[in-house]
Amino acid sequence: MDESMGLYLAVLIILAIFFLPTIIALLKKHPQKVGIILVNIVGVVGGLGWIAALIWCFILPKEQSS
């Protein structure tokens, strides 16, 4: 039973790291959160998408003055 508990904990940690850009974008209420979520999910295959989503979630667009 201890081995299965460790496995569940490891999977939970891996999933949290995998969705870290999405979690950050949602918590910060990023205006482009849908794009970040898509890049996070689709771009994880090569790893570059995850890195791009992580950087993107910290960059807020400048407000446009009209």
User: What does the domain layout of the chain look like in residue ranges?
Assistant: 2-56
Q: Which residue has the higher pLDDT, 27 or 4?
A: 27
**Whole-number percent of the chain with pLDDT over 90:** 68
pLDDT tens for each residue of 18-41: 999 999 999 999 999 999 999 999
Q: Stretch 1-16: mean pLDDT, rounded? A: 88
Angstrom distance (rounded) from CA 49 to CA 16: 16
- Residue 17 predicted with pLDDT over 60: yes
CB count within 10 Å of CB 43 equals 16
DSSP category for residue 47: S
Confidence of residue 3 (pLDDT cuts 50, 70, 90): confident
- pLDDT value for 1: 56
